[in-house]
Amino acid sequence: MSATDYVQIKDIKAGMRNINSIFIVLEVGPPILTKQGHEIRILRVADPTAMINFSVWDEAGALLQPGDIVRLTRGYAALWRCSLTLYSGKFGDIQKVDEFCMVFNDELNMSEPQPALAAMSQGQQHSHAAPLSLMPNAASGDQVNNSKQEPFDSQQKHKSFM
């Protein structure tokens, strides 16, 4: 995936790597302290297609606020407590690019817990089979999305953060 390809949140699946995406921060959770003294915050973020949990460590998590529009480069997605979660990771980059003006969808929650599918995925990991798509709307076998962001559809229900 090139640096100019952005993945829509609705297309993110567990196991995807090198995710580039632009989204708005809706909520910032309280800090959770690790044994090593790091702060982790879970942010609820959204784009025009869906919302997802985004795990951010240390200073970046403390600096982001609701309404910030963020560009994530080289992120990855994984399951955490049976919920699809987006991470910036060690090699990822988070940049605030704007604030407050972005259309988003908060009705499709990609981080809705999926315990039955997570258990099936655990079994596949032990058998070294191909990864299982864990989201109900995901096409089987598709683990990478190389499509560009779809154009704005004025007929689709959208919300603006204000």
The dihedral over CA atoms of 108, 110, 111, 117, expressed in degrees to the nearest 10, equals 120
- Reduce the DSSP state of residue 160 to 3 states and report it: strand
Q: Amino acid identity of 20?
A: N
Spell out the per-residue pLDDT of the chain, length 162, in tens: 444 689 999 999 999 999 999 999 999 999 999 999 999 999 999 999 999 999 998 888 889 999 999 999 999 999 988 899 999 988 889 999 988 888 888 888 888 887 665 566 555 444 333 333 333 333 333 333 333 334 333 334 444 444
Q: Which residues contact 100 (CB under 8 A, 6 or more apart)?
A: 67, 69, 161, 162
Has this prediction a pTM greater than 0.95? no
Evaluate whether 61 touches 41 at the Cβ level (below 8 Å). yes
Question: Burial letters for 148-161: b for 16+ Cβ neighbours within 10 Å, e otherwise?
Answer: eeeeeeeeeeeeeb
Helix-, strand-, coil-residue percentages of the chain, each rounded to 5:
15, 35, 50
Distance CA 26, CA 44 (A): 5
pLDDT of residue 127: 39
Which class in CATH covers the domain with range 9-113? Answer: mainly beta
